[in-house]
Amino acid sequence: MPEREIDAGWIGRRIAQLRSERGWTLATLADRVDLSTTQLSRIESSARQPSLGTLIELARTFGVTLSELVEDEAPTVYHLTRRTDLVPRQIAGGELSTLSGRFPGIEAMHLALRRGSSTPEAQHAGEEFLCVLAGNVDVTLNTDTLDLDRGDALQFPARLPHVISNTGDDTAEILIISTHPANDRTPAGGETRSQNRHGTAGPST
């Protein structure tokens, strides 16, 4: 089966549609997701591709799942995603395909991060889990830089500033799972830190 063509303008049109349905101005939505009106306008017109963190914040502000934000499929009582059904959407640094359906507990996605690219720094509610499916990436969490190879996995409070960088020679493929804010279990006393064999101290980005 041939791969689906990437519609680079779909996400921008969808954001504009959801904003219009709610009667919000550009300024209203921009303020709620901590963007300037110029940034949001460029995203809606597809002159700028949003980051994954921005998409998560937009979905939660609209009160929809990430799947509802970026996909145009009708809902069912279950959600099955076959590899041939993936619909990649252009975002900053690469292509995003949603894997989860319209259920509120988690957002699962496949990120193809281009060689030499990094995701913009993100912070949002909930927790995040990622597993490297192909390639090599660095994940920066505050002042820690973690080197992840194929098969390595990482879980962390998504409120920590985080950046994913492709350090390999090819496109990196990453499974990312983000929990709904209601499931955020970060200890009230602050951050948690767990370091595996790849952890090294690094500069904050």
Q: Dump pLDDT digits (tens) for 117-138.
A: 999 898 888 899 999 999 999 9
Closest CA to 55 of 20, 18, 85: 18
- Is there a domain that residue 160 lies in? yes
Tell me the per-residue pLDDT of 134-174, one tens digit each, with 9 for 90 and over.
Answer: 999 999 998 899 999 999 999 999 999 999 999 999 999 99
Q: Scan for tokens 């992840």, then name that residue.
A: 148
pTM: 0.62
The DSSP 8-state label assigned to residue 169 in this structure reads: S
- Is there a domain that residue 75 lies in? no
- Is there a domain that residue 95 lies in? yes
Tell me the per-residue pLDDT of 5-23, one tens digit each, with 9 for 90 and over.
Answer: 566 688 898 899 999 999 9
Q: How many CB atoms neighbour CB 180 within 10 A?
A: 16
Residue 63: left (phi > 0), alpha (psi -120 to 50), or beta?
left
CATH of the domain at 133: 2.60.120.10
- From the number of C-beta atoms within 10 Å of its C-beta (0-12, 13-18, 19+), residue 122 rates as buried
- Is there a domain that residue 152 lies in? yes
Q: Give the residue with greater pLDDT, 68 vs 62.
A: 62
Q: How many domains does the chain have?
A: 1
Helix axes 52-62, 10-21, angle to 10 degrees: 30
Domain interval for residue 146: 82-187+198-205
- Is there a domain that residue 54 lies in? no
- Is there a domain that residue 178 lies in? yes
Mean pLDDT of the chain: 82
- Is there a domain that residue 96 lies in? yes
- Is there a domain that residue 24 lies in? no
Strand order in the sheet with 199-201: 162-166, 137-141, 144-148, 199-201
